[in-house]
């Protein structure tokens, strides 16, 4: 990411830092889940998006990477996990490290259920054949840039309700959705509060990649069975996990995060996102004109391109590096179904994006 923090965020960060310099306003340990001012701002933001989330169902953290990585700790090791392929690697690797998977064969781990997400199914994963216990979904998607249609999310909520599955919904890129009517939160879907946990981050939304602040929602209706077959609330389990292992995000960062949801903050963040999405348009349209098959880039800051002439992802990486002096991310790094694809990011400076597209047109197409 190249654009600086929005001005209202920096103002809030400085003011809160000054408060810590004064004995009258100094703060030490805060609530592990986050200060009320931020929890209320987040709940209000959900409300404005047509989703019902209570302030005390929000858990503020230092990142969605940690949250999507740590969430598996509250589940038993015998749960069957489903992931899309390609996938954000954190979901897979943390389950491997926890010992929930079998041997790796040809880049795929035993016991994991892989859901191919390719051009053939419109980058909209099909339901697993049988019951799975935990399903990781990411929309808008990293790496494919696809957003899951409302009808598809309704289908997943129905599946989860019928199979007593838990959906782990990663909405780190929801703020990049441009098309009206697309789903920003899983809680816009009826019945989702009983089956889904949602993760959101200010990293991509507001340039917080280095500042670090994210949040996770665990609705109080959400339950899963323990080994005795009794239903247990996941809100209480996650609260216990966080209060045991985490002491909260620092006060100035939470004030900075609060500013993201203020009218001035929303305005500034909207401008930053518009800049990146214009980059995405330039890449998507430029490569399309050059004859590439491109996906994504409409509701997400990623363009997912089909490598030309059946080149492998890494062959295309080498070609791009050697012939155009550009780098991107080989699709194969996100899973075996990413082979033959390549991810380009819109998080660049405009003139570099324009130059990169010109070089691809001149040297690669
Ligand atoms: C970047 C990203 C995150 C957010 O990570 P942070 O730890 O909040 O910076 C979460 N999920 C996906 C899919 C991402 O690409």
Instruction: Return the CATH number at 294.
Output: 3.90.1150.10
Residues 51 and 81 in one domain: yes
HEC-encoded secondary structure of 38-85: HHHHHHHHHHHCCCCCCHHHEEEECCHHHHHHHHHHHCCCCCCEEEEE
Tell whether the model's pLDDT for residue 226 goes beyond 90: yes
pTM: 0.98
Residues 179 and 315 in one domain: no
Residue 291 corresponds to which tokens in the numbers above?
A: 């004859």
pLDDT of residue 222: 98
> Would you call 220 helix, strand, or coil by DSSP?
coil
Percent residues over pLDDT 70 in the chain: 100
Q: Distance between CA 77 and CA 255 in Å, rounded?
A: 37
Query: Does ligand 1 come within 6 angstroms of the Cβ of 202?
Result: no
Q: Distance between CA 183 and CA 188 in Å, rounded?
A: 7
Q: Mean of the pLDDT values across residues 186-204?
A: 98
Query: Does ligand 1 come within 6 angstroms of the Cβ of 257?
Result: no
Tell whether the model's pLDDT for residue 365 goes beyond 90: no
Q: Distance between CA 45 and CA 314 in Å, rounded?
A: 41
| Domain around 166 | 7-263
Place of tokens 């909405």: 171
Q: Are 177 and 50 in contact (CB under 8 A)?
A: no
170 CA: nearest ligand 1 atom = 11
Domain end call among 263, 279, 298: 263
Residues 161 and 53 in one domain: yes
Residues 219 and 88 in one domain: yes
Q: Mean of the pLDDT values across residues 161-185?
A: 98
pLDDT of residue 154: 98
Domain end call among 248, 263, 278: 263
Query: Does ligand 1 come within 6 angstroms of the Cβ of 63?
Result: yes
Does any domain span residue 67? Answer: yes
Residues 133 and 147 in one domain: yes
Residues 253 and 272 in one domain: no
Does any domain span residue 1? Answer: no
Segments in 246-364 forming alpha helices (H): 251-260, 263-289, 313-324, 350-359
Does any domain span residue 284? Answer: yes
Domain end call among 232, 248, 263: 263
Find the CATH number of the domain harbouring 217.
Answer: 3.40.640.10
pLDDT digits (tens, 9 = 90+) for 17-56: 999 999 999 999 999 999 999 999 999 999 999 999 999 9
How close is the Cα of 172 to the center of ligand 1, in Å? 6
Q: Distance between CA 295 and CA 308 in Å, rounded?
A: 14
Query: Does ligand 1 come within 6 angstroms of the Cβ of 88?
Result: yes
Higher per-residue confidence, 310 vs 19: 19
Q: Distance between CA 270 and CA 206 in Å, rounded?
A: 9
Q: Determine which residue's CA is closest to atom 11 belonging to ligand 1.
A: 172
User: Which residues pair with residue 15 across a beta bridge?
Assistant: none
User: Which residues pair with residue 93 across a beta bridge?
Assistant: none
Residues 155 and 242 in one domain: yes
Query: Does ligand 1 come within 6 angstroms of the Cβ of 338?
Result: no
Query: Does ligand 1 come within 6 angstroms of the Cβ of 209?
Result: yes
Residues 252 and 297 in one domain: no
Q: Distance between CA 83 and CA 140 in Å, rounded?
A: 15
Query: Does ligand 1 come within 6 angstroms of the Cβ of 249?
Result: no
pLDDT of residue 107: 87
Query: Does ligand 1 come within 6 angstroms of the Cβ of 121?
Result: no
Q: Determine which residue's CA is closest to atom 4 belonging to ligand 1.
A: 64
The total of structural domains in the chain comes to 2
Residue 258: band (very low, low, confident or very high) from pLDDT cuts 50, 70, 90: very high
Candidates 209, 151, 203, 194; CA nearest to 174 is: 203
Residues 273 and 241 in one domain: no
Does any domain span residue 356? Answer: yes
pLDDT digits (tens, 9 = 90+) for 69-95: 999 999 999 999 999 999 999 999 999
Residues 178 and 284 in one domain: no
Query: Does ligand 1 come within 6 angstroms of the Cβ of 170?
Result: yes
The Cβ of residue 303 has, within 10 Å, a number of other Cβ atoms equal to: 29
Q: Mean of the pLDDT values across residues 192-201?
A: 98
Does any domain span residue 85? Answer: yes
88 CA: nearest ligand 1 atom = 13
Does any domain span residue 242? Answer: yes
Residues 98 and 148 in one domain: yes
pLDDT digits (tens, 9 = 90+) for 326-361: 999 999 999 999 999 999 999 999 999 999 999 999
Residues 128 and 221 in one domain: yes
Does any domain span residue 207? Answer: yes
How close is the Cα of 1 to the center of ligand 1, in Å? 13
Does any domain span residue 2? Answer: no
pLDDT of residue 187: 98
How close is the Cα of 71 to the center of ligand 1, in Å? 14
């Amino acid at each position: 990411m190249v654009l600086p923090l929005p001005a209202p965020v920096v103002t809030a960060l400085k003011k809160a830092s000054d408060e810590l310099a004064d004995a009258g306003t100094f703060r030490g340990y805060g609530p592990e889940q986050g200060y009320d001012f931020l929890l209320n701002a987040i709940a209000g933001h959900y409300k404005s998006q047509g989703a019902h989330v209570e302030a005390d169902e929000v858990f503020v953290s230092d990142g969605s990477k940690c949250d999507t990585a740590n969430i598996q700790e509250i589940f038993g090791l015998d749960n069957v996990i489903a992931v899309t392929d390609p996938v954000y690697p954190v979901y897979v690797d943390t389950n491997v490290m926890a010992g929930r998977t079998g041997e790796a064969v040809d880049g795929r781990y035993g016991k994991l259920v892989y859901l191919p997400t390719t051009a053939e199914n419109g980058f909209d994963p099909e339901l697993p054949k049988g019951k799975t216990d935990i399903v990781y979904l990411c929309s808008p998607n990293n790496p494919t840039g696809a957003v899951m249609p409302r009808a598809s999310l309704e289908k997943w909520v129905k599946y989860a309700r019928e199979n007593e599955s838990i959906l782990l919904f990663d909405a780190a890129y929801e703020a990049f959705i441009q098309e009206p009517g697309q789903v920003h939160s899983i809680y816009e879907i009826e019945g989702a509060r009983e089956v889904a946990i949602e993760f959101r981050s200010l990293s991509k939304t507001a340039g917080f990649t280095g500042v670090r602040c994210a949040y996770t929602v665990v609705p109080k209706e959400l339950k899963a069975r323990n080994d005795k077959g009794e239903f247990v609330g996941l809100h209480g389990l996650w609260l216990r996990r966080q209060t045991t292992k985490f002491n909260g995000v620092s006060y100035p960062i939470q004030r900075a995060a609060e500013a993201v949801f203020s009218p001035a903050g929303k305005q500034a963040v909207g401008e930053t996102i518009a800049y990146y999405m214009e980059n995405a348009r330039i890449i998507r349209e430029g490569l399309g004109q050059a004859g590439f098959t491109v996906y994504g880039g409409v509701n997400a800051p990623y363009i997912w391109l089909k490598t030309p002439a059946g080149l492998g992802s890494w062959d295309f990486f080498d070609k791009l590096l050697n012939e155009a002096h550009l780098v991107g991310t080989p699709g194969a790094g996100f899973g075996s179904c990413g082979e033959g694809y390549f991810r380009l990011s819109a998080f660049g400076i405009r003139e570099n994006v324009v130059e990169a597209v010109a070089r691809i047109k001149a040297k690669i197409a």
